[in-house]
């Protein structure tokens, strides 16, 4: 442990920690764009500049390790001016079309622009707009908005382990791309959407969520797909699921989901969902009330049980139902119907 | 899984077999990829297809379909021949090693090469790598179990892990990957014909007495029927009514046409589901079900982690949870039950030793891995740390048997099936999401060399035929499949690949042999799916 001072406040921090980590732990906020706690620091955006009091050096807080006796200032006029300049430089490449940008109030660049009083038009615009890369149905890439933070590249290599994206080009054309700039779905990309979920601006967007607005609530639950059991934070607007993230701090899956967990939830609100019990009749499907349908089913079950005994009925429980429901289903089979004819698709 | 997902990156060597992990368990696969890329872990991949994990593998062994016992035994043979076994572990924790050693003498890698197609040198290298590792784990999925010899395959996997002492420690283990969100839980809860909750046997009088005491009804001692047997019994008129919750056997069961005929013979088929699936369309009554986002309760993941799901949105119309309809129906049959998930979990905990310490309130703070034998118990991330369920681990001498289906003049190719990245199971969920646009239809994956022999080109409409039936689909050429092997997913009901699959199953597990079917492929005569 080392002792240091941040804005005059004495802190003790682990020797291996960075200025950013120890400051945030103490509740002192330092703005960041290219930093994410799940990734190794990038030191690319320089918004996290802080000042070392004794030397006057400006240090990037995200990748500078704490040293004993350090005294760090995070909020001086000099730092504010430096951050303003950095933001102005970013905006020289970043279109100021916030009114039509899907990132809207989730955009961290916009947040800091407001905080540091940057309008985006301070410096003349450099470079041209790049075409939107929009070939697949899941991920929308608008690299004109890319600020070169490298979060997507690091997330893909360090967390997803796919290393499908890297930086290509130089100068104003410097941007992330799949190898040989192939379309994502023709590359090593697994369309897991991790990069999209971590992008601090509107350069990467989840297509299925576009134009669904902001969520009204978030619900922490479990993914309905494979058996991994990823923690899923549903983004819900009204009664619609408009997206999903992995953000529960204690969950084993950290910030990760896969293509299915992230983009495969549209079935919940699909118009094909059944909303009424149905009976197949000679005239086709007839809607029934629950009471009517259950009584008709019970009636037939009673008759079959009377005539042929419990071995003539069976239950297929479900690997998609809850534990509690499966428990009740097998209890129903065994205690109410009197048969062990209960199974599910464990073998498929 | 004997071990936990958090454990994966602690292994020095990981052996993955019969699992296309990056596509079917993508987030878990991250840990394997990270271990290789950043942790110096060596990956041994054993899979006939060049699945995406091959990119990360130090060794990729490509056995012929259905020869798993042969290569697994050969690896164990190398371990014993070169004295690479963990003698302390074997002496203290296992029994039957001498019989195994004598038995395995016939499984020299050189002799097995002819059966498996794996060069003896590569197999020896893999065996050494696995055995010499400080910590080594094995992961497998349906590529091991969906064979007539599936249970034997698993025993052979266990032999190898026990010989090398790679069990009961972090970064080791025998780790089956479960394919559905709650398939582990459905098994744990006794949705199985021979087991009550917690794998308590129906054929034990003591177990039955415990449950009949709690439930107030006698429990039948007769083992019930598996899905496959129920379908057979339906076809034979012995099973007259079937209630299906959230499953789609017409698409997922082998011999789809036979399955449909059998279900058609039922006097009453009731299906509760989210959608009017292919099976629901055959039902007499269809009940609207609730999705995971519309109910409370728990799921148990592949690492035995019981986790709380939470209701997020209102269900459409009058959709009810499966549990609700079961309880109401039960009441109409004179056995009232109340659907209250937290209360049901209290009952589960009372009757299921491995869930005894689990309740909903605890789960609010995070999932718990069973066994969790009492309140306050932290759960069990690693099984078998001190002993096995039966005490000492017994080595099993399992003899290799060739798969039931063989290629010949009439059916010269072997078909294997599985899942793909953007679709899931019978497809009823994923087809109704943004993922559908990523993969609109299935295809037959074939090695370009085979296509050349058959004078077929990428994108051709082809007819795939087995002894059971035929279907029409597009051909996609890929070096993923080795020569002589073709691959299809079972996601697309319009193809219904399972109509090609034999209903023959592993007599011990009841698992059908989805992974090996002899087929022939020819240019389709322009007609749609037969």
Same domain, B143 and B189: no
Same domain, B21 and B156: yes
Flag whether A54 is in a domain. Answer: yes
- Is the CB of residue A277 less than 8 Å away from at least one CB of chain B? yes
Question: Is B424–A298 a contact, with Cβ atoms under 8 angstroms apart?
Answer: no
- Is the CB of residue B478 less than 8 Å away from at least one CB of chain A? no
B351 in helix, strand or coil?
helix
The complex's ipTM works out to: 0.95
Q: CA A61, CA B459: separation in Å to the nearest integer? A: 54
Single out the residue in B162, B177, B192 at which a domain terminates.
B177
Flag whether A221 is in a domain. Answer: yes
- Is the CB of residue B180 less than 8 Å away from at least one CB of chain A? yes
Question: Is B240–A256 a contact, with Cβ atoms under 8 angstroms apart?
Answer: no
Q: Nearest by CB to B240, which of A240, A285, A308?
A: A308
Interface probe, candidates A231, A253, A273, A313, chain B, greatest B C-beta count within 10 A:
A273
Question: Is A274–B319 a contact, with Cβ atoms under 8 angstroms apart?
Answer: yes
Q: B338 or A127: whose pLDDT is higher? A: B338
- Tokens 């055995």 sit on residue: B131
Q: What is the token pair recorded at B241?
A: 């009514």
Q: CA B512, CA A30: separation in Å to the nearest integer? A: 58
Contacts with B425 from chain A: Cβ below 8 Å = 348
Flag whether A278 is in a domain. Answer: no
Same domain, A70 and A107: no
* Interface subset of B 94-123, CB within 8 angstroms of A: none
Same domain, A95 and A179: yes
**Residue-level pLDDT at B361:** 96
What residue numbers bound the domain in which A296 lies? 289-347
Single out the residue in B339, B369, B399 at which a domain terminates.
B369
**Residue-level pLDDT at B526:** 53
Single out the residue in B177, B202, B232 at which a domain terminates.
B177
Q: CA B253, CA B247: separation in Å to the nearest integer? A: 10
Flag whether B375 is in a domain. Answer: no
Question: Is A314–B28 a contact, with Cβ atoms under 8 angstroms apart?
Answer: no
Question: Is A261–B27 a contact, with Cβ atoms under 8 angstroms apart?
Answer: yes
Closest CA in chain B for residue A235: B312
Tally Cβ neighbours within 10 Å of residue A192. Answer: 29
List Cα–Cα distances, B261 to A203, B224, B359, B496, in angstroms: 53, 22, 43, 15
Closest CA in chain B for residue A325: B323
**Please, which residues bridge with residue B271 across strands?**
B244, B286
Same domain, B12 and B148: yes
Closest CA in chain A for residue B236: A312
Residue B528 has pLDDT above 80, yes or no: no
Q: Which of B206, B200, B203, B292 is nearest to B246 (CA)?
A: B292
Same domain, B273 and B165: no
- Is the CB of residue B214 less than 8 Å away from at least one CB of chain A? no
- Tokens 């090996």 sit on residue: B516
- Is the CB of residue A338 less than 8 Å away from at least one CB of chain B? yes
- Exposed e or buried b per residue across B151-161, where buried means at least 16 C-beta atoms within 10 angstroms of its C-beta: bbbbbbbbbbb
Interface probe, candidates B24, B25, B26, chain A, greatest A C-beta count within 10 A:
B26
Same domain, B418 and B354: no
pLDDT confidence band for B503 (50 / 70 / 90): confident
CA atoms within 13 A on the CB side of A40: 7
- Is the CB of residue A260 less than 8 Å away from at least one CB of chain B? yes
For residue B413, report the phi and psi dihedrals to the nearest 5 degrees.
-115, 155
Question: Is A285–B37 a contact, with Cβ atoms under 8 angstroms apart?
Answer: no
Mutual angle of helices A290-308 and B322-332, in 10-degree steps: 60
Q: CA B414, CA A136: separation in Å to the nearest integer? A: 33
| CATH code of A225's domain | 2.20.25.90
Flag whether B405 is in a domain. Answer: no
**Residue-level pLDDT at B382:** 96
CB B34 within 8 A of CB A280: no
Same domain, A62 and A116: no
Residue B27 has pLDDT above 60, yes or no: yes
- Tokens 């596509």 sit on residue: B23
Same domain, B426 and B515: yes
Same domain, A98 and A182: yes
Same domain, A105 and A167: yes
Same domain, B279 and B165: no
Instruction: Indicate the average pLDDT of chain B.
Output: 95
Tally Cβ neighbours within 10 Å of residue A286. Answer: 14
Vertex B193 angle, CA B190 and B198, to 5°: 25
Closest CA in chain A for residue B202: A340
Same domain, A99 and A63: no
Closest CA in chain B for residue A312: B239
Q: Nearest by CB to B227, which of A239, A322, A343?
A: A343
Q: Nearest by CB to A222, which of B181, B233, B428?
A: B181
| CATH code of B428's domain | 2.40.40.20
| CATH code of B313's domain | 3.40.50.740
- State the Rg of chain B over Cα: 24
Flag whether A281 is in a domain. Answer: no
- Is the CB of residue B226 less than 8 Å away from at least one CB of chain A? yes
* Interface subset of B 352-411, CB within 8 angstroms of A: 366-367
Residue B426 has pLDDT above 90, yes or no: no
- Is the CB of residue A287 less than 8 Å away from at least one CB of chain B? no
Same domain, B208 and B309: yes
Flag whether A342 is in a domain. Answer: yes
- Is the CB of residue A234 less than 8 Å away from at least one CB of chain B? yes
Flag whether B378 is in a domain. Answer: no
Same domain, A129 and A176: yes
Per-residue pLDDT tens for B322-336?
Answer: 999 999 999 999 999
Same domain, B171 and B188: no
- Is the CB of residue A273 less than 8 Å away from at least one CB of chain B? yes
| CATH code of A190's domain | 3.30.70.20
* Interface subset of A 1-20, CB within 8 angstroms of B: none
> Quick one: CA dihedral A12, A16, A19, A22, positive or negative?
negative
Flag whether B398 is in a domain. Answer: no
Number of domains in chain B: 3
Same domain, B168 and B187: no
Same domain, A200 and A234: no
Q: Nearest by CB to A219, which of B217, B225, B310?
A: B310
Question: Is B510–A268 a contact, with Cβ atoms under 8 angstroms apart?
Answer: no
Q: CA B76, CA B90: separation in Å to the nearest integer? A: 13
Q: How many inter-chain contacts (A to B, CB under 8 Å) are there?
A: 469
**Please, which residues bridge with residue B388 across strands?**
B391
Q: Which of B475, B439, B432 is nearest to A136 (CA)?
A: B439
- Is the CB of residue B199 less than 8 Å away from at least one CB of chain A? no
Contacts of A209 (CB under 8 A, 6+ apart): A235, A242, A243
Contacts with A157 from chain B: Cβ below 8 Å = 37
**Please, which residues bridge with residue A133 across strands?**
A141
| CATH code of B116's domain | 3.40.228.10
Flag whether B390 is in a domain. Answer: no
Question: Is A325–B34 a contact, with Cβ atoms under 8 angstroms apart?
Answer: no
Question: Is B177–A227 a contact, with Cβ atoms under 8 angstroms apart?
Answer: yes
What residue numbers bound the domain in which B14 lies? 5-177
Q: Which of B160, B151, B2 is nearest to B71 (CA)?
A: B160
Q: What is the token pair recorded at A222?
A: 């479990």
Contacts with B367 from chain A: Cβ below 8 Å = 229
Same domain, A194 and A118: yes
Q: Nearest by CB to B326, which of A260, A274, A328?
A: A328
Question: Is B268–A329 a contact, with Cβ atoms under 8 angstroms apart?
Answer: no
Per-residue pLDDT tens for B344-362?
Answer: 999 999 999 999 999 999 9
| CATH code of A10's domain | 3.10.20.740
Per-residue pLDDT tens for B223-250?
Answer: 999 999 999 999 999 999 999 999 999 9
Same domain, B159 and B208: no
Per-residue pLDDT tens for B149-190?
Answer: 999 999 999 999 999 999 999 999 999 999 999 999 999 999
Flag whether A45 is in a domain. Answer: yes
Q: State the average pLDDT over residues B281-294.
A: 98
Q: Which of B287, B336, B283 is nearest to B315 (CA)?
A: B287
Flag whether B479 is in a domain. Answer: yes
**Residue-level pLDDT at B28:** 97
Q: State the average pLDDT over residues B87-103.
A: 96
The DSSP string of A186-241 is GSS-----HHHHH-SSSSEEEGGGTTS---SEEEEEE-SSSTT--EEEEEEETTEE
Question: Is B25–A318 a contact, with Cβ atoms under 8 angstroms apart?
Answer: no
Same domain, A176 and A113: yes
**Residue-level pLDDT at B529:** 43
Flag whether A25 is in a domain. Answer: yes
Same domain, A148 and A203: yes
Contacts with B19 from chain A: Cβ below 8 Å = none
CA atoms within 13 A on the CB side of B329: 30
Number of domains in chain A: 4
List the pLDDT tens digit at each of the 348 positions of chain A.
899 999 999 999 998 899 999 999 999 999 999 999 999 999 999 999 999 999 999 999 999 999 999 999 999 999 999 999 999 999 999 999 998 899 988 999 999 999 999 999 999 988 788 888 877 889 999 999 999 999 999 999 999 999 999 999 988 788 999 988 999 988 999 999 999 999 999 999 999 888 888 899 999 999 999 999 999 999 999 999 999 999 877 889 999 999 999 999 999 999 999 999 999 999 999 999 999 999 999 999 999 999 999 999 999 999 999 999 999 999 999 999 999 999 998 776
pLDDT confidence band for B530 (50 / 70 / 90): very low
Question: Is A314–B242 a contact, with Cβ atoms under 8 angstroms apart?
Answer: yes
A15 in helix, strand or coil?
coil
Same domain, A130 and A187: yes
Distance from CA of A333 to the nearest CA of B (A): 9
Flag whether A277 is in a domain. Answer: no
- Tokens 């087929």 sit on residue: B519
């Amino acid at each position: 442990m080392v002792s240091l001072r941040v804005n005059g406040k004495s802190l003790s921090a682990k020797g291996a920690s960075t200025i950013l980590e120890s400051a945030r732990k103490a509740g002192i906020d330092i703005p960041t764009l290219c930093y994410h706690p799940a990734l190794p620091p990038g030191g690319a955006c320089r918004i996290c500049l802080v000042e070392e009091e004794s030397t006057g050096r400006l240090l990037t807080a995200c990748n500078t390790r704490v040293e004993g006796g350090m005294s760090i200032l995070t909020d001086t006029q000099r730092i504010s001016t430096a951050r303003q300049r950095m933001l102005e430089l970013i905006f020289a490449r970043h279109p100021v079309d916030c009114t039509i940008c899907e990132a809207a109030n989730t955009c961290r660049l916009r947040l800091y622009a407001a905080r540091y009083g940057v309008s985006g038009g301070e410096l003349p615009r450099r470079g041209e707009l790049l075409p939107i890369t929009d070939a697949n149905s899941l991920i929308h890439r608008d690299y004109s908005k890319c600020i070169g933070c490298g979060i997507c590249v690091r997330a893909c290599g360090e967390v997803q382990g796919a290393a499908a994206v890297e930086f290509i080009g130089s100068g104003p054309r410097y941007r992330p791309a799949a190898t040989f700039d192939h379309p994502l779905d023709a590359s090593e990309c697994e369309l897991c959407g991790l990069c999209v979920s971590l992008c601090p601006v509107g350069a990467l967007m989840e297509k299925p969520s576009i134009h669904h607005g902001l969520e009204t609530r978030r619900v922490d639950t479990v993914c309905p797909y494979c058996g991994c059991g990823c923690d899923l934070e549903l983004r819900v607007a009204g009664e619609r699921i408009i997206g999903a993230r992995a953000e529960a701090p204690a969950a084993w899956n950290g910030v990760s989901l896969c293509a299915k967990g992230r983009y495969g939830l549209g079935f919940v609100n699909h118009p094909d969902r059944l909303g009424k019990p149905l009976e197949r009749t000679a005239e086709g499907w007839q809607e029934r009330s629950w009471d009517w349908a259950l009584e008709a089913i019970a009636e037939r079950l009673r008759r079959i049980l009377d005539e042929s005994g419990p071995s003539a009925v069976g239950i297929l429980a479900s690997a998609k139902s809850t534990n509690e429901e499966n428990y009740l289903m097998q209890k129903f089979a065994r205690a109410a119907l009197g048969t062990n004819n209960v199974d599910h698709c464990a073998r498929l | 899984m004997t071990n936990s997902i958090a454990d994966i990156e602690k292994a020095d060597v990981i052996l993955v077999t019969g699992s296309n992990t990056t596509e079917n368990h993508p987030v878990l696969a991250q840990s394997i990829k990270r271990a290789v890329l950043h942790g110096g872990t060596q990956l041994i991949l054993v899979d006939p297809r060049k699945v995406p994990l091959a990119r990360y593998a130090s060794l990729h062994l490509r056995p012929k379909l259905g020869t798993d016992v042969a290569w697994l035994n050969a690896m164990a043979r190398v371990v014993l021949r070169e004295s690479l076994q963990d003698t302390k572990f074997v002496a203290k924790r296992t029994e039957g090693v001498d019989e195994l050693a004598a038995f395995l003498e016939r499984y020299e890698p050189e002799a097995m090469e002819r059966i498996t197609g794996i060069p003896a040198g590569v197999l020896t290298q893999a065996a050494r790598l696995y055995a010499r590792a400080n910590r080594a784990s094995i992961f497998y999925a349906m590529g091991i179990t969906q064979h007539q010899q599936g249970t034997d395959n698993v025993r052979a996997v266990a032999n190898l892990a026990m010989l090398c002492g790679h069990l009961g420690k972090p970064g080791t283990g025998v780790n089956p990957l479960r394919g559905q969100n709650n398939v582990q839980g459905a098994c744990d809860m006794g949705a199985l014909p021979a087991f009550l909750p917690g794998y308590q046997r129906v054929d034990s009088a003591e177990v039955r007495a415990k449950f009949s005491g709690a439930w107030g009804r006698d429990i039948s001692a007769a083992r019930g029927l598996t899905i496959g047997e129920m379908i057979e019994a339906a076809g034979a008129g012995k099973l007259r009514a079937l209630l299906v919750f959230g499953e789609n056997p017409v698409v997922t069961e082998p011999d789809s046409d036979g399955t449909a005929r059998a279900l058609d013979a039922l006097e009453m088929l009731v299906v509760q589901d989210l959608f009017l699936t292919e099976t629901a369309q055959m039902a007499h009554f269809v009940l609207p079900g609730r999705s995971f986002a519309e109910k409370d309760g728990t799921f148990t993941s592949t690492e035995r982690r019981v986790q709380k799901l939470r209701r997020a949105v209102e269900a459409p119309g009058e959709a009810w949870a499966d549990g609700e309809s079961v309880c109401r129906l039960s009441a109409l049959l004179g056995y009232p039950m109340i659907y209250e998930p937290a209360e049901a979990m209290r009952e589960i905990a009372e009757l299921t030793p491995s869930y005894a310490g689990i309740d909903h309130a605890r789960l609010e703070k995070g999932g718990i891995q069973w066994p969790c034998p009492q309140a306050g118990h932290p759960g069990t991330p690693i099984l078998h740390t001190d002993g096995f369920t039966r005490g000492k681990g017994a080595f099993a001498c399992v003899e290799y048997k060739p798969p039931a289906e063989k290629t010949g003049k009439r059916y010269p190719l072997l078909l294997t099936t599985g899942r793909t990245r953007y679709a899931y199971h019978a497809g009823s969920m994923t087809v109704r999401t943004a993922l559908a646009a990523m993969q609109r239809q299935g295809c037959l994956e074939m090695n370009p060399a085979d296509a050349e022999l058959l004078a077929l080109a990428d994108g051709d409409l082809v007819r795939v035929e087995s002894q059971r039936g035929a279907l029409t689909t597009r051909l996609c050429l890929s070096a993923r499949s080795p020569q002589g092997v073709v691959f299809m997913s079972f996601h697309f009901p319009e193809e219904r690949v399972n109509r090609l699959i034999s209903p023959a199953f592993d007599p011990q597990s009841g698992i059908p042999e989805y992974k090996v079917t002899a087929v022939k492929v020819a240019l389709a005569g322009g007609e749609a799916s037969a």
